[in-house]
Amino acid sequence: MKPIYHKKNAAILLCILLSLFAAVSAPAQESVLHDITATQDVSGSLPPKVLMRTMTQSYCTYYDFAIKDGKIYAKEKGNAEWKLFLKTGLPFSGSGSGKDVFDPPAAICELCCDADSLCAFDQDGVMYSCFISKTAPQKPFRWRKLCGFPRENYLVQNDLVVEKRGWSMGCRRGEILWYEDRYGNQHHYGTMGLETFYFLTKDGQHIRFTDSGLPTDFSRSIQGPEEGRFVAENISVSGDTIFLIGDRGSMYTRLIDFDTMGCDPVFFQYTYEKLPQYSAGTDYISNYAPWALPAEDWFKQPKIKLSGSARLSKIISIAQTGRGNAARELRVAGTDASGRIGYYHKMLFDAEWLFSPAELVIADEFFLENKAEAGEETTFSYRGYISKNSNKLAGYSCMVEGAALSSEDRCTLTISHGEESFSCALYPVEKWTYIRRYNPGFDGTPRYYFITAEIDEWKLSRYSKDFRQLLEDLFKDRHLKLFDFSAEASTQYYQIDILGGATSFRGVTGQDAYTLFMTCDGNADAQPFVYKAGKSMELGGIGNPLSEDLVLAPKEFYTAADSEEIAQKLENNKAYRKNLEEMSKAQKKYHEKAVRSRWGFSFFDIVSRITFLNKVNFPKIKQVTSYMGDLLTANASLYGDLIAYMDWAYPSVLDLLDLRLAAYSRLLDSLENGEGSAALDSGFHESLIGYYDDIAFPHHAVQGEEATLDMLEISPQFACFVLQKADGTVILIRPEDVPQTVAENDAPYKFRATFTMVSLAKNARHAPPDNENVIADIDSYQGELRWDGKTVRIYIKNAIFTKKLLFAGSAE
């Protein structure tokens, strides 16, 4: 049989592996804000009363706030006089600030307040916050620049949000007192509450958020109305209830934050079932009752009826007015039928809007234009395979449809076998992480999820015997079982891990391990490790080792006129190499901390189980022991994957950098020693491919009809080989020390090599590599790649003095 791996498959795998080299750090764009009071001061400059909450004016339970000349002015409720807030109008750190010491900013450009909290952004997009009530959880009337948990840092508007259509802040604390879940059960806010910051992105279709108990980034998101296709013109938030308006006057509201969407199982009990609630929201103990999931849906507000000269603007406002979810007033600035300026208003769940005339200043650009409110599709679909204990199941496929990759999601899983198929709804909620991230799911790094499945178990008996056995092992007795599955997902792949029902004894758990691995292009043929993108987080990836700042323009000879450029390139390469090394060390350090945190918790977990403390949920010990281990494991796994990626890719890049530094240094020495002209070393190449080409190593080789070997030119700095056997086995082969081996030896060339299994043969089972047909454990073995000028041979070292020939082929 002719091997099926060739150009098409190589292109697919090349695209997959290219993602390992994507620099996914946040772009180094400076977030600069400007004075926008000219258009955002809708209530007028320092008005008698702030009537609409905008990015420069806001009102809450205790104060009205406004920006004037880059400073914050405040007017206490019941007081007619505006004063510079805390006398200076600018954030400052005073005595008792501890480590949170900072210089006052030059100007404040944006602000928002809600309940007992005020936050503001300076001209550089840096946030400052201040509590404005004596009942607040921390000392009031003291500015803070540090925020977030578990490590405090600065929250700075980055490129994901700096060009936002609007932003707002919501506070859920004692002023509201309780939250009502989707079944009307009331839950006391607890002892701390939270402040959440919501940003409507430039396209109007995405909402990014962070809160006081999360790392300081904008990595988390909420899917908008109409499955994310609704294009909102503006956003306002109060009490964590989001208010959106579209260009045709459609309006939606939804109460949602990190806690209510189900992402905080360490501190709250959750359930997808309708359970009775016996405590009122006024009782603190109601905080311990299970919170119903999913969070409430988007609620479409009744449209404002317009006639005559009536017009609506995108200036909207929502404000909490009392306890519970419903205590919110909505406002929309505009004109009535007779053309009077004012605002339409109603309580959250009222059916009719009323109009109140007011002295508002609405710029022409803020009036709605009746443009389409439906944007582009924002969800993803994936197709792939199912593996059981790392072996693919022949004849089975799976598909996920409608995944938004937001922090809280809903999608559909379908498993097929021949003409039969089974579908169920999935409810993913993002796992908490203490790591600061950029844009997981979209930047090459995945989002990690807990998943609860909604299963019609009575349908399982409809299927043929083999299919029914698989479905029962996956789904029996798991309808709405909380967070029973785990997943990780990106725009490229979706992976769901499931432990099957208890069967015959297999190690500790007695359960089969299933992996559903799907890709967006539907070509999921690789082992997950090979397909996945590099986990470089916000610290960045390898970048471009061949950028103009690092590489000399090719010349036959260089002269003294080039000395300055050569010296600068040397310094740039030294700095680049140092940065890569520091990045690698930092990531390994983070990984060690993550592992220590995991093992530290494991000890606590063991003690709590022995003493039965894990059965006690006051103060929430049961919650911590139930989920903290899983969350810490996910964090450790994330860094573990990143370390594996770096160990795989960095050595080749660093080796080439060392050769470049040596070659450039010799070139510069020659010119500085008086030589009129000089050339780079004859055997030096900027790319790894150049060294292979020096010895005429084939880019494609065949072993009859049994196997093919193709060079994957992932980047000029890194190349490896993919071996495909006729039985469907695909193995990635990475030679080591290629430049040194080429430079220091003559034919036959021998390269040390490591292996990564990409795809096993359909009938593979784990066996040692001396088996004639099976090499399932090849990842754990060293090998050798040889080239004598005619034949490529690949060996597996399966013992100290023995080798197994894996491939012997020549250029086609």
Average pLDDT on 209-219 reads: 93
Nearest-CA neighbor of 475 among 451, 449, 462, 456?
A: 456
What amino acid is encoded at 725 in this protein? K
Return the pLDDT at 600.
45
Average pLDDT on 153-174 reads: 95
- Which helix (H) or strand (E) covers residue 604, if one does? helix 563-610
What does DSSP say about strands 396-403 and 380-388: parallel, antiparallel, or unpaired? antiparallel
Q: How confident is the model at residue 766 (pLDDT cuts 50, 70, 90)?
A: very low
Return the pLDDT at 586.
62
Sheet with 311-320, edge to edge strand ranges: 311-320, 328-335, 341-347, 354-357
Instruction: Answer for the pair 449, 488: CB distance below 8 angstroms, yes or no.
Output: yes
pLDDT tens digit string along 492-503? Answer: 899 999 988 754
Helix, strand, coil share of the chain (percent; to 5): 20, 30, 45
Residue 632 vs residue 377, higher pLDDT = 377
pTM equals: 0.75
Q: Give the span between the Cα atoms of 180 and 86, in whole angstroms.
A: 36
| Size of the chain in residues | 812
Residue 30 vs residue 144, higher pLDDT = 144
Q: Give the span between the Cα atoms of 246 and 185, in whole angstroms.
A: 31
Question: Strand runs (DSSP E) across 552-706, as ranges?
Answer: 558-559, 677-678, 700-703
Return the pLDDT at 137.
86
Highest mean pLDDT among 286-290, 326-330, 386-390: 326-330
pLDDT tens digit string along 34-43? Answer: 999 999 999 9
Nearest-CA neighbor of 581 among 641, 662, 688, 653?
A: 653
Residue 507 vs residue 344, higher pLDDT = 344
Return the pLDDT at 336.
97
Return the pLDDT at 652.
77
Residue 429, helix vs strand vs coil: strand
Q: Give the span between the Cα atoms of 216 and 390, in whole angstroms.
A: 37
Residue with tokens 């932003």: 167
Average pLDDT on 682-696 reads: 91
Average pLDDT on 318-339 reads: 97
For residue 605, is pLDDT > 50?
no
Angle between helices 563-610 and 621-672 (to 10 degrees): 160
Paired with 678 in beta bridges are 558
Instruction: Answer for the pair 133, 61: CB distance below 8 angstroms, yes or no.
Output: yes
For residue 665, is pLDDT > 50?
yes
Least confident of 111-120, 251-260, 627-636, 715-724: 627-636
Cα dihedral 623/625/626/630 (nearest 10): 120
For residue 597, is pLDDT > 80?
no
Burial letters for 338-349: b for 16+ Cβ neighbours within 10 Å, e otherwise? eeebbbbbbebe
Return the pLDDT at 97.
73
Return the pLDDT at 5.
34
What amino acid is encoded at 297 in this protein? D
Q: CA 68 → CA 46, 47, 651, distances in Å?
A: 8, 11, 55
- How many CB atoms are located within 10 Å of the residue 513 CB? 15
Instruction: Answer for the pair 235, 244: CB distance below 8 angstroms, yes or no.
Output: yes
Return the pLDDT at 775.
63
pLDDT tens digit string along 414-469? Answer: 999 999 999 999 999 998 887 788 898 998 778 999 999 999 999 898 999 999 99
Residue 132 vs residue 277, higher pLDDT = 132
Residue 608, helix vs strand vs coil: helix
Locate 707 and state its tokens. 């196997």
Q: CA 536 → CA 174, 542, 600, distances in Å?
A: 40, 9, 25
